[in-house]
Amino acid sequence: MSAQVNALPRAVQRRLAARPRLTDAVWVGGLTLFDMATVLHRAPEPPGWGVALWGAQTVPLLWRRTAPRAVLVAMTGLYVLFQALGAIPSKVPGPFLLMLGVYAVARYARASVSGPLALLSLLSATVTDALSGHWEPPRLGSLAPISATTFVFFFALAWLLGYGRRRIDTDAARLRELNRRLAAEQELNARQAVLTERARIARDLHDVVAHHVSAIALQARAAEDVLTSDPLQRDAAAQGVGVIACTADTALTEMRRLLGLLSFGDGAHDLAPEPSLDGLDRLVGVATSAGCRVACHVEVSAAVAPPAGMQVSAYRIVQEALTNAVKHAGPVAVRIAVRGDDTRLTVEVENDPPGPDHRPVPGAGRGLVGMRERVAAFDGELDAGPRPDGGWRLRAVLSARAPRPARPVASRERR
């Protein structure tokens, strides 16, 4: 039956799986009619109640999923009753229909229960056949149509098949549950990584905005002092007001990005100097001390330097890329290239393949999650993945255009 179901189209299989009761009713009904047809044309002609009693053996299979133990007991009882009443004078095939009940109890009940029940059913059928004259003594190596050896063989085969299917279903259910838990854990870890990185970005951008606001306050006081002390110095005051306007625009741009993240960290504030492209030498020194051979090339003019917030994100991207290189490749050659101006910044980090003796540290992909968030905050692009030679390449492009709502930035492979 299972082989026939597997041969059906997938759409039909899904419909049958969605309606197990209907499937069982059709299958058991057809099986019952077939069993009754096998004894109709025997000589002498069997009575109608005998044919019905023979066919009734398979009716309990309708409940094999929900009550497999009761099904096997009922089928065994009907077979014993059939043989004890002598419903059909001629020989019948034997208790082979009970194998379906044995398979069902082995599949849907625990082995500690199904094993004794199958053995009890076998003994009941064998004793009944012996007392009713259908007995043939066991013959080693013989699988005659009706013999105790045949019953033992097929009952054992049915139980083993049912028990094996139960083990497969149990393992499949356990794997599905583990997969569900793993997916939930991965989603939780990814969300936590996003929240952590966004909180870190928020702290960085807070430093940038605080710097600009402080500059605005100083310029405003200076302009006020000029206008108060010497009203004739209007040009100098106007120049100061222009600086205030420019600084305020920059601060507003950074603040919009900050509010767009909708995340605020509650950890201790980092009192270290604000990261920027000028601090890449510190990152290179740390990677070099770990054994890496780092070449860093920066093409950014001081006259058209990128905004402070963009420099912070570029610094963090290089930091994460170097960390990944040390963890996953070990002491290898690393190349860093940073190019850009006040509107666009490109960061490229490549590392050679790891040595044959290097054992990479397992990663959960949180580094790329954080970099995607940083790149998305600047409406940029992120491309990260393995190189043909076994190394790794990362390329991030940050834009200083007006910020947009944060959107996911996909990478080719998590690391």
User: Tell me, what's the pLDDT at 241?
Assistant: 65
**According to the model, what pLDDT value does residue 2 have?**
46
Structure confidence at residue 408 (pLDDT): 47
Domain 277-399 adopts which CATH fold? Heat Shock Protein 90 (3.30.565)
- Asked whether the CA dihedral 71, 76, 80, 86 is positive or negative, the reply is positive
Is the preceding omega at residue 60 within 30 degrees of 0, hence cis?
A: no
The pLDDT value recorded for residue 238 is: 62
pLDDT attached to residue 16: 52
Per the DSSP assignment, residues forming a β-bridge with 293 are 333
Q: Running along the chain, 415 residues long, what does each successive block of 10 average in pLDDT? A: 50 58 76 75 72 81 87 88 74 76 89 89 83 67 64 88 91 89 79 75 65 61 64 63 64 62 47 72 82 90 80 88 84 92 90 82 68 86 91 91 48 46
Q: What is the pLDDT of residue 224?
A: 63
Matching residue, tokens 């099986």: 31
The closest of 397, 361, 359 to 378, measured between CA atoms, is 397
Q: Cβ(40)–Cβ(92) under 8 Å?
A: no
Q: Compute the distance between CA of residue 164 and CA of residue 101 in angstroms, rounded to an integer.
A: 15
CA-nearest of 59, 63, 64 to 29 is 59
> CB-based contacts of 94: which residues, under 8 Å, 6+ apart?
125, 129, 134, 145, 146, 150, 151
pLDDT given at position 38: 72
Start-to-end C-alpha separation, the chain = 46
Where exactly are the structural domains of the chain?
2-135, 191-261, 277-399
Second CATH level (architecture) for the domain 191-261:
Up-down Bundle (1.20)
